[in-house]
Amino acid sequence: MRLLYATLHTLGVTLEDRIDRLRKDGEKGAATIEIVFWAVGLLVLAGIVYAFLSGWINGKLAGIT
């Protein structure tokens, strides 16, 4: 349990340091974050389209046999 606490504490301190650096740098990394959000959004959209098409095709195949 101590190891888990130490790991989470270290992670929190590291994230806090990164946030402080981002605040000092202003919007220096804003473009990169925006690209990541767009990439994640497109991956989610592609997953939804894949799930829809897969279900639709499997439904049609079940009707054929």
Stated pTM of the model: 0.50
- Following DSSP, what letter does each residue of 17-65 receive, concatenated? HHHHHHHHH-STTHHHHHHHHHHHHHHHHHHHHHHHHHHHHHHHHHHH-
Instruction: Say which residues have a Cβ less than 8 Å from residue 29's Cβ, sequence separation at least 6.
Output: 22
Domain range for 12: 2-64
Residues 2-60 pLDDT 10s: 777 777 778 777 877 877 777 776 666 667 778 889 899 999 999 999 999 999 999 88
The domain tally of the chain equals 1
- In the 8-state DSSP scheme, what is residue 1? -
